Amino acid sequence: MAQLYFKYGTMNSGKSIEILKVAHNYEEQGKPVLLMTSSLDTRAGVGTVASRIGMKAEAVAIDAETAVFDYVDALPQKPFCVLVDEAQFLSKKHVYDFARVVDELKVPVMAFGLKNDFRNELFEGSKYLLLLADKIEEIKTICWFCSKKATMVIRTIDGQPVYEGKQLQIGGNETYIPVCRKHYFKPEL
């Protein structure tokens, strides 16, 4: 039975490694997958899922105009699974389309992404995945400053934490730090 999965975690929790591992496991068994990612994340190039440890794979880039359901439905061969990276950047319509892929096309969808931004607000894609997903799983990592579980991220500018600003600013370790709740409010920078 196909289901919609949302696997979320903070920066550096290994979400992209996990999605690449899942894709490899399916493909090694001769089961094709459809790998998709947000066109907003251009750090490794548009349409590339890349982990910080160097693993990467080409993917279909999802932009604001992408009709996800129609795209999957029109494929000549139905994939065994749809894997979506950077799912926090999805729109409400994209998430509803992925739910239709599961319900109408009977294809499982695994979406991986951040839950909350540096202001501790939900991303649009994450909000609707939390509402619609059949299964929700946290991918854990530890706080930059202690050994507690990281549940939030701090955005830094010139080494200083910032708590206000536009939600979308693509970045990696130079910009974001995974932290626990205590260190979100009192970072040891």
Catalytic positions, please? 86
Is 15 annotated in some ligand binding site?
yes
87 labeled part of a ligand binding site:
yes
Neighbour count for residue 138 (Cβ, 10 Å):
14
Known binding residue 16? Answer is yes
Q: Which tokens is 186 given?
A: 């009192």
| 23 and 50 Cβ atoms separated by less than 8 Å | no
Ligand-binding site membership of 81 (annotated): no
CA dihedral 109, 132, 89, 102 (to 10 degrees): 20
Q: Which residues contact 137 (CB under 8 A, 6 or more apart)?
A: 5, 6, 7, 8
Establish whether 143 is an annotated binding residue.
yes
184 is in an annotated binding site: no
Q: Is 56 annotated as a binding residue?
A: no
Annotated binding site for ATP: 9-16, 85-88
Annotated binding site: 9-16, 85-88, 143, 146, 176, 180, 183
Annotated binding site for substrate: 176
Annotated binding site for Zn(2+): 143, 146, 180, 183
